[in-house]
Amino acid sequence: MYNYQKTTNWLESKGKQLFGDHFKIYEEDKTIIYKLIAYSLQDQKMVKRCNIYLEKGVLLSGPIGCGKTTLMSLLKFLVPKDQKYYVKSCREVSFEFIKEGYEVIHKYSKPKLHQKKAGIICFDDLGTESNLKYFGNECNVMGEILLSRYDAFTHPEQSRRTKTHLTTNLSASEIEQFYGNRIRSRLRESFNLIAFNNNTKDKRR
C-alpha cells in the first residue's frame, strides 16, 4: 500500500529544491498527481481503477502554465534508480534537426537494441516546434520521431525498452490538424491521456 499524500508532500519538497520555495502542489491538481504517482510506482490496483495501462506512455495535456513540464520533471524521482529519465523540449529537438539533419530523427526514434533498459524520454511541449527544412526538404520532425517510436513500441523485442511520454497544450483535433490522423490514432494506442481541466489557472502568475 502506498501513502499518496506523503508521496505528494515529498514531491513538493523536491519541487522546492529544484524550482524554488515558491513551488507548490495545489489541492485541485492532486487527482492528476495521484495518477502520475500510481503510474510511476506501478501501483497495480490504483492504475486499474484509473484505467491506466503501465505498458503505455503518458500524454499529459493541459493549458499553458498549468505545470505539465514541472510535474513530468519530478517523475524522475519515482522511476527506478537504474533507469535514466530525460525531459526534452520539442523545440530543442527541432533546433538539433536544423544543425544535424535527419540523424536527429534516428537518434530519438528507437532504443538501442543492446540495452536491456533504455532511458525513458518525455518530449515536452508537443506542437511548439515547426515544420523545418534541411537542404530544402521539409520535415515534420516530431511526427517522424513519434511514428518511429510507435513502431518500436509495437515491436515485441523493443516494446519493453521503449517508453515515451509527452506534454502538450494541443487538443486532440489540433494534434490531428498539425500531425495528421495517423499520428493521432497511434497516440491513442500508445499513450495514457491524463488531462488538466481547461480552466486550470496559470501557475506562472
As a whole number of angstroms, the distance between CA 172 and CA 177 comes to 9
Question: Which backbone phi and psi does 45 adopt, to 5 degrees?
Answer: -70, -45
Q: Give residue 160's pLDDT band: very low, low, confident or very high (50, 70, 90).
A: low
Encode pLDDT of 66-125 as tens digits. 999 999 999 999 988 878 899 999 999 988 888 888 888 888 987 554 445 567 899 999
Mean pLDDT of 27-37: 95
Q: What whole-number distance in Å separates Cα of residue 103 and Cα of residue 152? A: 17
Cα 192–Cα 108–Cα 144 angle in degrees, nearest 5: 75
pLDDT in the model for residue 41: 93
- What pLDDT shows up at residue 134? 47
> Rounded to whole angstroms, how far apart are CA atoms 139 and 90?
14
Residue 152 pLDDT: 82
Question: Scanning the structure block, which residue is given the C-alpha cell 489541492?
Answer: 27
Kindly give, in sequence order, each residue whose CB lies less than 8 Å from that of residue 155, ignoring residues fewer than 6 positions away. Answer: 162
Task: For each of the domains in the chain, give its residue range(s) and CATH number, in order of start.
Answer: 53-195 (3.40.50.300)
pLDDT, one tens digit per residue, over 168-183 is 999 888 998 888 899 9
The pLDDT value recorded for residue 83 is: 81
| Cα 54 from Cα 61, distance rounded (Å) | 18
- Give the tens place of pLDDT for each residue, 47-57: 999 999 999 99
